Structure formats: structure tokens, C-alpha cells
Amino acid sequence: DTPLRDLAEARGRYLGTAVTAGKLTGGYADVAAAQFGSVTPGNEMKWGSVERTQGTYDWTGADRVVAFAEAHGQRVRGHTLVWHSQLPSWVTGGTWTADRLRTLMTDHIAAEAGRYKGRIDHWDVVNEPLNEDGTLRRSIFGATLGESYIADAFRAARAADPAAKLYLNDYSTDAIGAKSDGMYALVKRLLAQGVPVDGVGFQAHLVLGQVPSSLEANLRRFADLGVDVAITELDIRMTLPATEAKLTQQKADYASVLRACLAVTRCAGVTVWGFTDSDSWIPDFFPGQGAATPYDEALAPKPARAGIAEAL
């Protein structure tokens, strides 16, 4: 059975997975290294993980993922520099003037992207900037700084690591619709201002049987703006228990997402958000749902894994 990472490379794409640093031993590490050509730390590079206390950095988990990738010839997607969630409480609990918050943000980007300079292929510079209707999310950053925080974040990331491809990333932007229209207009505005946006990430946290029919056309319209695109956090959840029929549907769904990426020249690759059901966020965040990844809890390949291989 050809490793998925080799099938993807032969098509000029990468196949990646989110990983958990603390699990990178034994069978989990073996599958991650053998099957995937790119890794994304699931949590270890988030601001709340690396600077829980102001001025005190802990790079242990992030370093471990980057070292694992380098030992196995894998790329790294850095995730994520600016996001409203999983922030340190000293950031969310502070009262900051706009100038102070902007400086905190750009200093954080300089510290983190600077530490891994030259070792990160893609950075998710800004994660989840939009509301469901496509308007700017009034997060601590959006509310305090307005849309300009996005341009400032990309410029800081470019200065810190000129070689990394810089991505804007969001969820529920997979189909053509209000939210992806908002993202499309935002990317256009940023490019017109000369902001160094290299790519747009589509998280693709999908529901069984509901791969958007407009996914490929949506990826293509962004690519036509002159940016790369990528599927960055793919999982396809189902109501538990998993049955043979649901797993067969999931196989078809995974294959159709892979085919949408392959059909768009500027689609750089696909990352699954955890490769095993034992390391998926879905059961915790969507009660009653799960079995969303291509390997089961015992690290055995599911039909979805064959769907990926067949599409590649």
C-alpha cells in the first residue's frame, strides 16, 4: 500500500495532518510519519500555549512537533499566530488601548514566527476573522483595532519569516455563500493594499454527506485572485455510532474533497484535523458525533483512508 504522502507528492500536493505533540511515540508516530508529508500542531503553537504568562515562553510542544517534522522530511503548517480563541487569559483579561494591543500582537508574531524562521512552510497568520454573515468578527482584535489588524499581522509575519507562505484561514467558507463572499472581498481588499497574503485556508470541518457542491468552484475563484488555497483542517463527522453505510459515505466524501483540491492548480494540499479518531476534537465539541478521521481509534485505516488514496 503506497503511503498517502507519496501519492500526494506525485500529484504535486501535500497531504498533512494535525498532530498532538505529547502523542508522538509508538504507533501514532509511525502512522503520522509514514503517511503524511506535512504536520500542523493541533494546539501547541497557539498563543495561549506558548505564552501562558506574559513574557514567559514555553516552546516545548511546538519545538517537539517541528523536530518531528524535520526528522521525517515533513513540512510544517504553523497554526496560528492571531486568533480570538485559546488566547492567554492575560491578553483577554487586560484592558488595552488600540496601540498597546497592536504592539502586543505584532510582538507576539515577531517572537513566534521569528523563532521558527525558515522552518515553517505555511503560517496561518490570522485564523477565523469573520462572522457567519461575512462581516468582520468583533473579536478582541476586530473590536479594538478594526480590519487593519489583519494587514498589520501579515506584515509582521512577513518581516519575521520572509520564506513562509502566509495564510488567512477560516471555517464555513468552503461553500460559495455569505461567509466565503466576505472572505473573497476581504482578500481582494488586502491584495489591493499590497498586504502579503499568499494563501487562503479552508478549514473544512464537514458533516457526513454534505460536502459542498460548490467547493471546487469556490477554491478556484480564490485562486483566480492570485493566491494559493489549501484545505487546512479537514474532518467529516457523523452521528455515532458509525455504521458500515456511514463509513462508506465518508469514504466518498473524503474522496470528493481531495478531488476538488486536485482540480484546482493552486490548491497546495489537504490537511486532516487529526488522522485518528482517538485524536479528534469532534466528540468533545459536537456531542454525539465523531468517527470523523481516516483512521479508527486503534489506528486501523477506515474506508475514508482508501477514499483519499483512490482520489490521489
3-state SS, residue 79: strand
Nearer to ligand XIL, 106 or 172 (CB): 172
Nearer to ligand XIL, 14 or 281 (CB): 281
Instruction: Please identify which residue in 49, 139, 173, 203 interacts with ligand XIL, judged by CB under 6 A.
Output: 203
Q: Is 233 a catalytic residue?
A: yes
Please identify the residue of the shown chain whose CB is closest to the bound ligand XIL.
Answer: 281
Cα–Cα distance for residue pair 67/72, rounded to 1 Å:
9
Backbone φ, ψ for residue 46 (5° rounding): -70, 150
Q: 44, 128, 216, 233: which one is catalytic?
A: 233
In the complex, minimum distance from the CB of residue 47 to ligand XIL, in angstroms, rounded to a whole number = 11
Nearer to ligand XIL, 184 or 281 (CB): 281
Binding mask 30-69 for ligand XIL (x = CB under 6 A): ------------xx--------------------------
Neighbour-count burial of 240, counting CB atoms closer than 10 A to its CB (0-12 exposed, 13-18 middle, 19+ buried): middle
User: How many H helices and E strands in the chain?
Assistant: 13, 10
Asked whether the beta carbons of 15 and 38 are under 8 A apart, the reply is yes
Q: How far is CA 278 from CA 70, 120, 247, 281, 299, in A?
A: 24, 26, 16, 9, 8
Nearer to ligand XIL, 43 or 289 (CB): 43
Cell of 255: 474522496
Question: Is 172 an interacting residue with respect to ligand XIL (CB under 6 A)?
Answer: no
In the complex, minimum distance from the CB of residue 95 to ligand XIL, in angstroms, rounded to a whole number = 26
Kindly determine how many residues on this chain lie close enough to bind ligand XIL according to the rule CB under 6 A.
7
Number of alpha carbons in the 13 Å side-chain half-sphere of residue 196: 19
Instruction: Please identify which residue in 161, 198, 233, 253 interacts with ligand XIL, judged by CB under 6 A.
Output: 233
The residues that touch ligand XIL, with contacts defined as CB under 6 A, are 42-43, 127, 171, 203, 233, 281
The residues assigned a catalytic role are 233
